Homo-oligomer: A and B are copies of this chain.
Amino acid sequence: MSKCESCIIKEFNSLKSLTRDELMRVSACKTGKFYKKGQIIFEEGEVLNGVYCVKSGVCKLTKLSENGKDQVVKLVVKGDLLGKRSLVSDQKTNLSAVALNDMEMCFIPKSEIIDDLSKNPKFTMDVLREMANDLRESDVSLVNMAQKSVKRRMAEILMYIHDNFGTDNEGYLSIVLSREDFASIVGTATESAIRILSQFKKEDLISTKGKHIKIEDYNGLKWIE
């Protein structure tokens, strides 16, 4: 396995604030893990004893609602750290993580990194900054969920995926989600998600090829109410 020091992924997250020595130590104890599409990385209620660093692929963080439906809270991508909260708390996680693609990750045991939190202020500040950012994003999601229509939210998630994960060479969104996943992100019934995507197709805002979606009229999506 390659060393953390030379891994470009570290530039995307707070690991960049670790010193060379700290990184070497982390590198020595990390475990490479691979997950296939659909595989569960961890589940709500488990106790995590480390953080996952995403090297490639995408996963969803979900939370089970009392009505039995899963709600996607966040999509996690290359460079993100998963399980940051386990560093500061021994509580069970409140979220599940499921791979949406084949994924490559590094697992870093909490015990190896917890010392750095108290000894390397630069690192700590960086973790703090990342959490503050997560919190800000979370506020935005809450307001969207509370104040926008399902159709609007669906348009926004399509644009979000387009902007943040890009497209393949034919212009199809490079993240492929089931209709159920879309429903679970947008917070609606699966049938409603299907209906809305069908409607977008009829209005030539998007086109589809199997599960692959291409945005045909980005501006049109923008103005959906």
Contact = CB atoms under 8 A, between A and B. Distances in A.
Interface of A: 63, 65-67, 69, 71, 73, 84-85, 87-89, 94-95, 117-119, 121-122, 124-125, 127-129, 131-136, 138-148, 187
Contacts of A147: 65-67, 69, 71, 187
Question: How many copies are assembled?
Answer: 2
Given A84-B132, A87-B128, 10 more contacts: A66-B148, A67-B148, A71-B146, A88-B125, A89-B133, A94-B136, A135-B135, A141-B142, A142-B142, A145-B146
A145 B186 CA distance: 11
A172 B75 CA distance: 42
Contacts of A122: 118
Which of A131, A144, A146 gathers most chain B CB within 10 Å?
A: A146
Which of A118, A122, A135 counts the most chain B CB atoms within 10 A?
Answer: A135
A135 B65 contact: no
Contacts of A187: 145-147
A85 B136 contact: yes
